[in-house]
Chains A and B, each alone.
Chain A
Amino acid sequence: MALAVLVSIPIGQVPPLAPLLSPFQGFWQNAYSEDELAVDQWELSGLTEPVEVIYDEHLIPHLFASNEEDLYMVQGFVTAKHRLWQMEFQTMAAAGRLSEVVGIQALEFDRMQRRKGLTFGAEAGLTYIQEEDPETFALLVAFSDGVNHYISSLSDARLPLEYKLLGYRPEAWSPYKTVLLLKYMADMLVGDKDLEFTNLRQIIGADWMERLFPDFPFENDPVIEASQKWQFKPLPVSKPENIIYPDSALLVDPIPAPEPGVGSNNWAVSGKKTRSGYPILANDPHLSLNMPSLWYAMQLSTPKYSVKGATLPGALGVISGFNESIAWGVTNATRDLRDWYAITFKDKRRDAYLYDGDWLHSHQRVEEIKIKSESSFFDTVIYTHHGPVVYDDHFRSNGQKVNFALKWTAHEGSNEQRAFLDLNRGKDHDDFIAALEYYTAPAQNFVFASTSGDIAMKVQGKFPLRWEGQGKYLMDGSNSAFDWQGSIPSEHNPATLNPVRGFVSSANQHSVDSAYPYYVFDPSFEHYRNRRLNKRLSEMRRISIEDMKALQFDNFHLHAAEAVPVLLQLLLAEPLSFTTAEEELIKELQKWDFYTSPRQQEPPLFAEWWSNLEELLWGRWKEEGKPILYPNNYQTTLLLKEEPDSEIFDDPRTPKRETGSYWVQKSFKAMAKEIQKQRETRTLTWAAYKQTSIRHLVPNFHAFGYFDIHTGGGRGILNATSERHGASWRMVVELGEEIEAFGIYPGGQSGNPGSKFYGNFLQKWAEGSYVSFNLLQQENADQALLIENFKPATE
């Protein structure tokens, strides 16, 4: 009997063996695909009218409901049916609760999540929706009920595999979790470099900071066309005089920021530039590539509208998609929405802190972090009026007596869910603008096109009203002069409608040019994809859907095209002897067309050369435990081109005076050695060098991921597929009388690693193909893979 007990309970981190291996409840049951387990009829209590769900051949569900409450209840049910583990796991990650399911190795991550105040922000968000928008709250409840109906119907056999492997069961869903998930998007997409900037200013001085990190690049090609005239009267912002920044070395580990060089593209071309005469809209958000896929495709129909596109499992409605009248898409607006304040506490109790000569009361929030197989960890987080104190002597301060508080727009109550629901219902540009009024964070560039022929773009979010330079560096939390002075009114946010150039576009670059009357800053704006995109869109005429698909998959490497001639010139400027093999590499680079398709062999040369060069040029600023950042690729290339003998290239630790040319030659030799070594064992194509992989959300479940994917592109390229990031969703929509739409994402509709729908989109995605995303009429169900009918429960 001891064995019976032994195989039925978890032992440490090992899941119970019998439930996992049982042919009837264990993993074997997860080998079935969704079409093999079809259930025709479901009864749901709370449903008011029947709802029909028609799945197409790719397992994309098309929901037909009589009203929105029924619609979102069934959206909750159907999403949970295919993505339950993922949607719960992501909200647990957002809430800093991963230690509960994976154990103590996640404690550090959980503490950071709690200290950033994401749950605090989600609580504020939920209260805000409950009080300000009871209609949306009712829909959140309906969605939540749908998820919970599915959870309560779940047998052991149908439990998603990850629960079986990790040995836990799903808990109830709630509106709070949906709000939390949307806040988590703000967490994923917002970065700041305030602490790195502060450290680097100490090393190289304020003047070089201005030169290497200018507010606007030399060739600024912003989201809103530079010719835009700003018609509003800006709110006044007063820059305080004689401000003194706290200026000590900051040896803290900064919050992981989004990886530079990845972002998203979206654009819309007006009918005058297209072959059909109808507007075409395209969107491809780039995010970390994971399994199960971040997105879940759906059509949601009521008698009033039909909307289709990518949903975020756990949130209501479609996030990037289209209906019969409009289409919209998102890219990250890449705006610094987080600032750091150094706090001076009165004493060790930290219940009072200095502010304009007075002591203000702080309050505490005790965070209980439950840990699998261990007792809970309790973390006390101090809140000031700026926000939570993330770094203190209990957390990541490396023994320093520091207290840094985080100010972030995501801490405020907001209603992003309503913005997406209203986009789903929208009919024209006015509806689009009205929907965005609800949208706070993460700031996005919303692209728009309509069947009435309009194209538009709006940079939307809640942006703090900052004086010039504010928020770049760590600020003094005891001086009110450093506080935000309010926010930019939504109607002053940059926007454009039907511009003369015939297209709107965004690729995470600067929102505006310097004529915009408010201070705009971020350290990670894009400099290459935007210029490539706008150049192509300007040149193109009689554009077809196929042209737009090809542009999303465009592999031209603009950074390389601009940098390689500069590097080669500096390499050959001074006499240097090359081996025959090195000369061959130079010839290869000279002949390169700067495309990065998977079979090409030149891109690895440049990638290796550039990363070596960057380390040699800027790596000497690094000191143990002191985070800094490097100038971006654009500024580095420009400096090498314009001022190769600049003093910034000199390493003061050596008697010799180093120049740009010196470092270029040295990095070339290092690159040549590395490339030759790698070429000895294999054909070093771009795909083989880059090794794009899509990993499961639990890194240990490597077999549930996909590795060495044969695909091109990379950072700063329109097809931005790098090692671990890339287009997480591609969509092209033509807004004619009959909407014609295509979409694809890396993964599949099913979250079950045993299903044939788990990774079935992957190959198509890797080769730049799409599947049809046309709207389905309820009566045209002939090609359906399966049909499910939901009926109100008879009690």
Chain B
Amino acid sequence: MRFLLLFILSGLVAHYFGAYLPHWGTMLSIGVLAALIGGKGSMAFFSAALAVGAVWFFVPLWITVRTNSDLTEKMAAIMGHTDDLALFGITSLLGFLSGGLSALTGNRLRKIFEKEEKQAFPAGQYGRKIGW
């Protein structure tokens, strides 16, 4: 459930905030989302990574199809690649890593605070009681 929630929210943030915030702003927002949602670190990483990776794959694809521009080929040539498809892959991978690592960072930050809470209220069973 958390996976799906973070996936959808990260995707929406990447897509809608992407146009208005600088890159670091989007990453920070995803970090905050991951911190709020919590859950396992690996879950947070893959959920946001897949979401941002997908956005960073489909948006360039949509732009290219819509504009019919040959810019991707030109950029691929300038960046030393012969295959323009590689640029879609690299962009998506960069989105994947940015999203994933942002979420992981947010997730870890939450854990730090969670740990501090445990220290303030020690006794393992106490937590269990609340949970119960």
Q: Which residues of A contact B (CB under 8 A)?
A: 1, 3-4, 7-8, 17-19, 21-33, 36, 156-157, 165, 700-704, 753-756
Q: Is the CB of A23 within 8 A of B55?
A: yes
User: Can you list the 9 inter-chain pairs with the closest CB atoms, starting with the nearest?
Assistant: A754-B71, A703-B77, A24-B18, A23-B59, A31-B69, A703-B74, A31-B71, A31-B67, A18-B23
Provide the bound-state CA to CA distance between A7 and B56, in Å.
15
Nearest to A756 among chain B residues (CB) is B69
> What A residues does B95 contact at CB under 8 A?
23
Provide the bound-state CA to CA distance between A411 and B56, in Å.
53
Known contacts A23-B55, A28-B59; A703/B91 CB under 8 A: no
Nearest to A759 among chain B residues (CB) is B70
Partner of B64, one of A4, A25, A31, A36: A31
Q: Is the CB of A18 within 8 A of B56?
A: no
Partner of B94, one of A7, A704, A754: A7
A23-B63, A23-B91, A702-B77 known; 16 new pairs, CB 8 Å cut-off, are: A3-B97, A8-B24, A18-B23, A19-B22, A21-B87, A22-B18, A24-B19, A26-B91, A27-B71, A32-B69, A36-B66, A156-B22, A701-B78, A703-B73, A704-B74, A754-B70
Partner of B69, one of A8, A33, A157: A33
> What B residues does A25 contact at CB under 8 A?
18, 22-23
Provide the bound-state CA to CA distance between A28 and B56, in Å.
10
> What B residues does A17 contact at CB under 8 A?
94
Partner of B75, one of A3, A4, A22, A703: A703
> What A residues does B73 contact at CB under 8 A?
703
> What B residues does A703 contact at CB under 8 A?
73-75, 77-78
Q: Is the CB of B67 within 8 A of A32?
A: yes
Known contacts A4-B102, A21-B94, A703-B77; A31/B72 CB under 8 A: yes
Provide the bound-state CA to CA distance between A156 and B21, in Å.
10
Nearest to B94 among chain A residues (CB) is A21
> What A residues does B105 contact at CB under 8 A?
1, 4
A-B residue pair count with CB separations less than 8 angstroms = 91
Q: Taking the complex as formed, is B33 at the interface, i.e. its CB lies under 8 A from any CB of chain A?
A: no
B12: min CB distance to chain A, Å: 13
> What B residues does A29 contact at CB under 8 A?
63
A793: min CB distance to chain B, Å: 23
Which chain B residues numbered 47 to 75 have a C-beta less than 8 Å away from chain A? 55-56, 59-60, 63-64, 66-75
Q: Taking the complex as formed, is B98 at the interface, i.e. its CB lies under 8 A from any CB of chain A?
A: yes
Q: Is the CB of A754 within 8 A of B69?
A: yes
Nearest to B56 among chain A residues (CB) is A23
- Find the residue from B64, B72, B78, B87 having the highest chain A CB count within 10 A: B78
Provide the bound-state CA to CA distance between A664 and B68, in Å.
54
Known contacts A1-B101, A4-B27, A8-B24; A21/B90 CB under 8 A: yes
Nearest to A22 among chain B residues (CB) is B23
0 or 1 for each of B95-118: is its CB under 8 Å from A? (1 = yes)? 101100110010000000000000
Q: Is the CB of A33 within 8 A of B98?
A: no
Provide the bound-state CA to CA distance between A756 and B24, in Å.
31
> What B residues does A28 contact at CB under 8 A?
59-60, 63-64, 71, 91
Provide the bound-state CA to CA distance between A249 and B91, in Å.
58
Nearest to A701 among chain B residues (CB) is B78
Nearest to A32 among chain B residues (CB) is B67
Nearest to B70 among chain A residues (CB) is A754
Classify the secondary structure of B's interface with A. Answer: helix
Provide the bound-state CA to CA distance between A22 and B87, in Å.
11
Provide the bound-state CA to CA distance between A21 and B77, in Å.
15
> What A residues does B60 contact at CB under 8 A?
23, 28
Chosen A-B contacts, 22 in total, with CB atoms closer than 8 Å, are: A3-B101, A4-B105, A18-B94, A21-B90, A21-B91, A22-B18, A23-B56, A24-B18, A24-B59, A25-B22, A25-B23, A27-B75, A28-B71, A30-B71, A31-B63, A36-B66, A36-B67, A157-B19, A703-B75, A703-B77, A754-B70, A755-B69
> What A residues does B19 contact at CB under 8 A?
24, 157
> What B residues does A702 contact at CB under 8 A?
77-78
0 or 1 for each of B28-60: is its CB under 8 Å from A? (1 = yes)? 000000000000000000000000000110011
> What B residues does A32 contact at CB under 8 A?
63, 67, 69
Provide the bound-state CA to CA distance between A22 and B57, in Å.
10
Nearest to A698 among chain B residues (CB) is B78
Provide the bound-state CA to CA distance between A753 and B73, in Å.
11
> What B residues does A30 contact at CB under 8 A?
71
> What B residues does A156 contact at CB under 8 A?
22
> What B residues does A7 contact at CB under 8 A?
23, 94, 98
Nearest to A157 among chain B residues (CB) is B19
Provide the bound-state CA to CA distance between A509 and B23, in Å.
57
> What A residues does B23 contact at CB under 8 A?
7-8, 18-19, 22, 25
Nearest to A752 among chain B residues (CB) is B71
0 or 1 for each of B6-30: is its CB under 8 Å from A? (1 = yes)? 0000000000001100111001000
> What B residues does A756 contact at CB under 8 A?
68-69
Provide the bound-state CA to CA distance between A30 and B101, in Å.
27
> What B residues does A755 contact at CB under 8 A?
69
Nearest to B55 among chain A residues (CB) is A23
Provide the bound-state CA to CA distance between A33 and B68, in Å.
10
- Find the residue from B24, B63, B74, B77 having the highest chain A CB count within 10 A: B74
> What B residues does A19 contact at CB under 8 A?
22-23
Provide the bound-state CA to CA distance between A174 and B77, in Å.
35
> What A residues does B56 contact at CB under 8 A?
22-23
Provide the bound-state CA to CA distance between A695 and B66, in Å.
27
A4: min CB distance to chain B, Å: 5
> What A residues does B64 contact at CB under 8 A?
28, 31
Provide the bound-state CA to CA distance between A33 and B91, in Å.
21
B59: min CB distance to chain A, Å: 4
Provide the bound-state CA to CA distance between A25 and B105, in Å.
23
Known contacts A23-B56, A28-B59, A753-B71; A165/B18 CB under 8 A: no
A26: min CB distance to chain B, Å: 8
Provide the bound-state CA to CA distance between A24 and B14, in Å.
9
B52: min CB distance to chain A, Å: 10
Nearest to B104 among chain A residues (CB) is A1
Provide the bound-state CA to CA distance between A702 and B77, in Å.
8
A704: min CB distance to chain B, Å: 6
Q: Is the CB of A4 within 8 A of B98?
A: yes
A59: min CB distance to chain B, Å: 15
Nearest to A25 among chain B residues (CB) is B23
> What B residues does A8 contact at CB under 8 A?
23-24
- Find the residue from A22, A29, A157, A755 having the highest chain B CB count within 10 A: A22
Provide the bound-state CA to CA distance between A30 and B24, in Å.
21
Provide the bound-state CA to CA distance between A26 and B71, in Å.
12
> What A residues does B97 contact at CB under 8 A?
3
> What A residues does B75 contact at CB under 8 A?
27, 703
- Find the residue from A4, A32, A36, A702 having the highest chain B CB count within 10 A: A4
B56: min CB distance to chain A, Å: 6
> What A residues does B63 contact at CB under 8 A?
23, 28-29, 31-32
Provide the bound-state CA to CA distance between A30 and B56, in Å.
16
> What B residues does A700 contact at CB under 8 A?
78
A269: min CB distance to chain B, Å: 42
Provide the bound-state CA to CA distance between A33 and B67, in Å.
7
Nearest to A4 among chain B residues (CB) is B27
Provide the bound-state CA to CA distance between A36 and B90, in Å.
26
B82: min CB distance to chain A, Å: 11
